[in-house]
Amino acid sequence: MKIIIGTRTLSSWSLRGWLAAKQSGLPFATECREMDTPEWQGGEAKKDLPSGKVPLLIDGTTPIWDSMAIILWLSDKGGHDRYWPREWPARALAYAMTAEMHSGFPALRSACPMNLQSAFPDFEASDAVKADVARIDALWTDARERFGSITDLPWLFGPFSAADIMFAPVVYRIHHYHLAVSPTARAYVDAMLGHPWMQEWNHDAHQETLRYDLYPVPGGVPA
- The structural domains of the chain, with segments of one domain joined by +, span 2-80, 85-201
Taking the complete model, does pTM exceed 0.85, yes or no? yes
Quick one: 107 exposed, middle or buried, by C-beta within 10 A (0-12, 13-18, 19+)? middle
**pLDDT beyond 60 at 219:** no
Average pLDDT, the chain: 94
Q: Do domains 2-80 and 85-201 have the same CATH topology?
A: no
pLDDT digits (tens, 9 = 90+) for 2-47: 999 999 999 999 999 999 999 999 999 999 998 877 888 788 889 9
Instruction: Write down the pLDDT at residue 156.
Output: 99
Q: Torsion angle, CA of 198/202/203/204, rounded to 10 degrees?
A: 110
Return the percentage of the chain with pLDDT > 70, whole number: 95
Topology of domain 2-80, CATH: Glutaredoxin (3.40.30)
- Determine the Cα angle at 160 with ends 148 and 117, to 5°: 110
**Dist. CA 67–CA 220, nearest whole Å:** 28
Instruction: Write down the pLDDT at residue 80.
Output: 96
pLDDT digits (tens, 9 = 90+) for 118-175: 899 999 999 999 999 999 999 999 999 999 999 999 999 999 999 999 999 999 999 9
| CATH class of the structural domain 85-201 | mainly alpha
Question: Which of the four pLDDT bands, split at 50, 70 and 90, describes residue 188?
Answer: very high
